[in-house]
């Protein structure tokens, strides 16, 4: 009876180890996703800045084109000025030239302002890109570290699962079946009874059942939580074997 119990206790130790490894490793994919999200946000911010810069460059090119066009127009009009016969036509054209020149002046001022803004935006994006590169480097390092940990935990689980099937072979078939059923709902599925109290649900087991467990050093089922129970004395005498 006691050997059966020891074999099952050993199996459960493997299961508990797997469960705790899985629980600890569970945090890694979440952290990796969080880092990826963080990096994505930073990347979008840079991309938005770049788009703004491109837009400003387009505006600048357009403005420069407009200025050139206006200047050409003024030049043509100035050439035509000397051909004007009447004073009325002459002064009308002269006024048009004046308006065009003023418009050109305004556009030149706009261009100067835009050029200034563009320079500032280029500087800003340069420092943001440097910031992003640093951030990316830091996050990639952290991500690689997490992926390494995750891989390590996975291989540990795999090794334990390999060990588990060996250990399971040593467990009594009926006991194993019951254990597997309970394990799906509750882990630990095998619990000790200490001074008449089930360590799974903290309820007292009937005295007769407790006495029986202590005498046989075997297992039974807790009437309250339906876990597999044993008297702790059964494993206490040889603590090394329980591990
Ligand atoms: Zn119980």
Q: Which residues face 231 on adjacent strands?
A: 193
pLDDT of residue 239: 46
User: How far is ligand 1, taken at its centre, from the CA of residue 227, in Å?
Assistant: 6
User: How far is ligand 1, taken at its centre, from the CA of residue 222, in Å?
Assistant: 5
User: How far is ligand 1, taken at its centre, from the CA of residue 233, in Å?
Assistant: 17
- The tokens describing 14, both together, are 């493997």
- The tokens describing 89, both together, are 């036509």
- CA nearest to 98, candidates 84, 81, 111: 81
% residues pLDDT > 90 (the chain): 84
Q: Are strands 228-231 and 220-221 parallel, antiparallel or unpaired?
A: antiparallel
User: How far is ligand 1, taken at its centre, from the CA of residue 193, in Å?
Assistant: 8
Model confidence at 238, pLDDT cuts 50, 70, 90, reads low
User: How far is ligand 1, taken at its centre, from the CA of residue 225, in Å?
Assistant: 4
| Report for 23-37, 129-143, 218-232: range of highest mean pLDDT | 218-232
69-96: pLDDT as tens digits: 999 999 999 999 888 889 999 999 999 9
User: How far is ligand 1, taken at its centre, from the CA of residue 204, in Å?
Assistant: 8
DSSP character at residue 205: P
> How many angstroms separate the CA atoms of 211 and 227, rounded?
18
Ion ligand 1, residues whose Cβ is below 5 A away: 198, 200-201, 222, 224-225
User: How far is ligand 1, taken at its centre, from the CA of residue 160, in Å?
Assistant: 27
Angle among Cα 99, 103, 108 to the nearest 5 degrees reads 145
121-145: pLDDT as tens digits: 999 999 989 989 999 999 999 999 9
Is the predicted pLDDT of residue 158 greater than 90, yes or no? yes
pLDDT of residue 2: 84
pLDDT of residue 237: 63
- The tokens describing 151, both together, are 């891989």
Domain boundaries of the chain, sorted by first residue: 22-168, 172-242
Fold of 22-168: Helix Hairpins (1.10.287)
Residue 211 makes CB contacts below 8 A (sequence gap 6+) with none
User: How far is ligand 1, taken at its centre, from the CA of residue 232, in Å?
Assistant: 14
160-203: pLDDT as tens digits: 999 999 999 999 999 999 999 999 999 999 999 999 999 999 99
5-15: pLDDT as tens digits: 999 999 999 99
Write down the mean pLDDT value for the chain.
Answer: 92
């Amino acid at each position: 009876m006691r050997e059966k119990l020891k074999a099952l206790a050993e199996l459960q130790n493997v299961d508990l180890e797997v469960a705790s490894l899985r629980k600890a490793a569970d945090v890694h994919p979440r952290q990796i996703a969080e880092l990826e999200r963080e990096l994505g946000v930073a990347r979008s911010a840079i991309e938005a800045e770049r788009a703004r810069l491109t837009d400003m460059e387009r505006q600048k090119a357009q403005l420069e084109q407009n200025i050139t066009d206006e200047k050409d127009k003024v030049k043509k009009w100035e050439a035509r000025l000397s051909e004007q016969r009447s004073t009325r036509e002459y002064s009308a054209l002269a006024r048009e030239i004046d308006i065009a020149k003023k418009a050109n002046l305004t556009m030149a001022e706009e261009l100067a302002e835009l050029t200034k803004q563009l320079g500032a935006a280029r500087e800003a994006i340069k420092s943001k890109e440097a910031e992003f590169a640093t951030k990316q480097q830091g996050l990639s390092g952290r991500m690689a570290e997490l992926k390494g940990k995750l891989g390590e935990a996975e291989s540990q689980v795999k090794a334990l699962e390999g060990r588990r099937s060996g250990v399971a072979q040593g467990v009594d078939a009926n006991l194993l079946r019951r254990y597997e059923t309970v394990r799906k709902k509750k882990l630990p599925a095998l619990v000790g009874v200490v001074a008449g109290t089930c360590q799974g649900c903290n309820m007292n087991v009937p005295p007769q059942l407790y006495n029986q467990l202590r005498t046989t050093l075997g297992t039974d089922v807790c009437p309250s939580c339906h876990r597999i129970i044993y008297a702790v004395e059964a494993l206490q005498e040889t603590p090394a074997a329980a591990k």
